[in-house]
Structure 1
């Protein structure tokens, strides 16, 4: 079929770009507040919110300011909140005891948020030891200083139980230990928490973009996590991790980071029949905020463009530090 009519083109895609109303009408990808999840940090003992220098506008919350942030997110229509606890430094130890203490800061925060917003938000919690260990790794170390996968699974099982007892709706299995989803599911079901969902951090890469997050959670890490987080060069490995997580009982799966791994996200979304999340991580946030602060980019347009790209690639849920702000705009 010819694309011309006489001397003029018959096909003119620009007709569908003529006005804001037309562009809105034919938009193929839309963001909705309910698809957004707000990651939030709460710091034990804080009396005022503590700014995170590498993430302008993001803070380590007090218990009171976290409650307020949860209410604001719910009122804006945000779908969920992912909680990270920052224990006092002297409470950290080699096995991450604050993570399994029923009165640890993360469990306290879960109860605080649930009491404030109930079921208005899906309340999620980080099922990982890195915030709670004095060495900063996501698991228990063996005698040679390596992360002991199977010993770590037992710590995760206990963490899952105490987070569920605190009332959490979803545990975010982020440690990248082999078998974490299966062991967590077994622990939850065995303790009567069959209705608590598991969000598997299925494709979590050993990324350079996590830098600001280390400050956000007060990480004690020395070294790296390359023996358990995925190599950025690998794609097929993500598909293997996906198959394993689904077989182990994951209710939802995630790709993290988001923007550098849109190809992985797209393939994961095409391959599954469960909800797919993507985490727009601290370094992605920091890059946009830094460039905008220098006047190099239009901040609001860049935020919406990045989130739309993640949604277009197939994410049905997006964890983003702009969740409440964007939900209000939408």
Structure 2
């Protein structure tokens, strides 16, 4: 587990060093503080995370052995996912599973980091959030889906654009993501999410309803059956085990809800503080859009325990990267420095603690880390 602990700690150390340099150069704080958009830094971290993912052992992750087994038995038939089928065909042609792993993770890391490069004010902070929110480590299991997620994450600018042509481009992006995972069609909902933040009172009401619904399994099962009715491809894919995928199969209790409530508190606070500043290089439309998606993601926890919902949440949870990157940048440049730093420290401590907790209970079966050894 040591390697997982070193990743965020190393980034925090790098942030501390860059903070010293920035404060020396901006003593009066008249310019924008904590802009760290060094492409070499982004490249080095992308290479490091790519290598860790590609060369991890087959047993690292609950789903990863399945992908290796597909390769060994040459049994993957991607009729509706030709992108993955093509990658498998390359791996089989060169008789190396590392070819498959390299292709998959190059696509995932490239699109995630390209999105960060295009949209985030601070690369190191964004990479830190990328790791702490488990977006990176989720790719150790849901390989196909995370490629689709990264493509949509990278091209979100088309969604927040007012140009009709960009909306059409986004439809093409969804079709591209669909080549790697059929669930990418759920991203059509992004076209209907406003670029103006949801009203704070509405958000609070939704969050309270989410907490109540979290403890009503009968409602979850009803919604699960509804999903079966409208998701033909999922019904066919899991026809042998519909109850597992669409009904409440892993009830979660109060302990699992507490981190969700903390995230709700952070988001509601962000609706009131800090205020937007016009002189900052922030895409506020994307910030507002990401805030709304994170609201929806937190509300989806009311259906927590339904495997289908948990999988679809991944398309929403990755927007934590944009949301927290923008929020932290606003806090670093806010005039009310005491309250800003207090809020910032609370956010960082929470996500570090939550990250360590998930590692401790070994979410997704990624602990211990080991290197790939060809069998």
TM-score > 0.5 by shorter chain: no
Question: Between Structure 1 and Structure 2, which shows a larger proportion of helix residues?
Answer: 2
Higher relative contact order (CA 8 A, sep 6+): 2
**TM-score, with structure 2 as normaliser:** 0.29
**TM-score, with structure 1 as normaliser:** 0.32
